Structure 1
Amino acid sequence: MKQVHIFIAFFRSGMLGFGGGPSAIPLVQHEVVRVYKWMNDDEFADVLALANALPGPINTKMAGYIGWRVGGIIGMLNAIFATVVPTVTLMIIFLVLLSAYKDKPWVTGMSQAVLPVAGVLMGILTWDFIKKSSQSLGWNYTLLLVFGSFITMQLLGLHPAIIIAILLIIALSARNKKSLSENKEKERSSL
């Protein structure tokens, strides 16, 4: 039954995520965190950050990892299949239809209407991550990271993966320093 749930979760999010990866991320989060409860919001945020740092389509990377985590190798293949094959099939069908009716006003209107909806989905996901980050980091540090990242990407043109990698290195360095100081404290207290 677990393999069926993996297929359904990624099939639904892939089919309803019109516009590609960014618009499907909130749908994947809904399926994985809220519907099936395979992971919590923090774990999903970690998967999303890692998927953003790697090359390739984000939905496929997330589907592969989450499918593997939930159902092993078969789950990984199942999730990737559920994400890729129906989307590719629909894309071919829609491209044929759009090419046949490209001069119709309703096709142009439909294409233009998708952009704001995808923007709203991304805004909701962003706000949800900001709220969760503020609970663990505090509002000041969260807003500093949000605005610092935004300015760095927009003004300097730095790729988001580079920012994520830098922040991961900083977090790991801070964690290692903390564990070293804790070990030294334990050694002192044991003497």
Structure 2
Amino acid sequence: MSKQWNIFIAFFRVGILGYGGGPASIPLIHKEVVDKYRWMSSDEFGDLVALGNTLPGPIATKLAGYIGYRVSGVLGLLNAVIATVLPTIVLMIILLSTLSSFKDFDWVKGMTAAIVPVVGMMLLVLTIQFLQKAIKGMGWMPTIMMSIVIFILLSLLNVHPGIIIGALLIFALVKKDKVKEGSSS
């Protein structure tokens, strides 16, 4: 029962503190899953986030579902997903019914503005961790070149991220098969 409680608390904290949507929740999930409870390594988490981003739907619930299942089966999956979405559901009901009457107050605008740099820094830290993993796996030059190309595709050419992820997955599969063919001959 304590494992279920830990799963619930870990993902409830993510749900309650994950201001800014799924991407802002990723560093919080990392902190709980990798640093606090040690349910997986940082490398495993990075792979999970990469895979989770290739699938449709909110990333926080996908991560919660998989991690909950991995830690404690189907019950863990349900527990983690419920814990992730419960704060949002409750807060949406409460806040939307009351916040709309306060939205023009300076303290509400200030509170919202103050959260943005915090979320930005959390995403930057996670980005640096992913870049370090990429450098470790591919080396400096391929990582830099790939980062530049992806930046251009996303920012300047407005290519949908799903197309880029899909193309890179296909590229990785083709490259993996070519490496297998080369080693078997």
TM (norm. structure 2) is 0.93
**1:32 correspondence with 2:14:** no
Deviation at 1:95? 2.3
User: Who is 2:112 aligned against?
Assistant: 111
Are residue 171 (structure 1) and residue 172 (structure 2) matched? yes
Contact map agreement 2:15 2:86 (CA 8 A) in 1:
no
Supply the AA of the counterpart residue of 1:106: W
Shift of 1:25: 0.7
- Per-residue CA deviation, residues 13-71 of structure 1 (Å, 9 max, x unaligned), is 12111121121110101111111111112221121112222222111111111111221
Partner Cα distance (2:156, 2:105) in 1: 39
The whole-number CA distance in structure 2 between the counterparts of 1:83 and 1:57 is 11
User: 1:112-151 counterparts in 2 under 5 A?
Assistant: 112-151=113-152
Match runs of 1:72-91 below 5 Å: 72-91=73-92
Q: Mark the runs of 5 or more structure 2 residues left unpaired by the alignment.
A: none
| Cα distance between partner residues in 2 of 1:181 and 1:63 | 39
When the two chains are superposed, the root-mean-square deviation of aligned CA atoms in Å is 1.4
**Code of the aligned partner of 1:173:** V
- Separation in 2, partners of 1:128, 1:120: 12
Please state whether the residue corresponding to 1:53 is helix, strand or coil.
coil
Contact 1:53 1:160 in 2 (8 A): no
Shift of 1:94: 2.2
Is residue 12 of structure 1 aligned with residue 5 of structure 2?
Answer: no
Measure the CA separation in 2 of the matches of 1:122 and 1:99: 28
2:57 & 2:35 partners in 1: Cα distance?
A: 26
SS in 2 for 1:158: coil
CA distance in 1, matches of 2:16, 2:91: 8
* Structure having the higher Rg: 1
Runs of at least 5 residues in structure 1 that lack an aligned partner in the other structure: 185-191
Q: How many angstroms does 1:183 deviate by?
A: 2.4
Q: Which aligned segments of 4 or more residues in structure 1 are displaced greater than 4 angstroms? A: none
Count of residues in Structure 1 that have an aligned counterpart in Structure 2: 184
Is the contact between residue 135 and residue 143 of structure 2 (CA under 8 Å) also seen in structure 1? Answer: yes
Single out whichever of 26-35 and 42-51 deviates more from structure 2.
42-51
Could you give the per-residue CA deviations for residues 52-110 of structure 1, whole angstroms, max 9, x where no partner exists?
22222111111111111221111111110000012210222222331232232111111
Q: Quick one: percent identity of the two aligned structures?
A: 52
**Do 2:12 and 2:86's aligned partners in 1 also have CA atoms closer than 8 Å?**
no
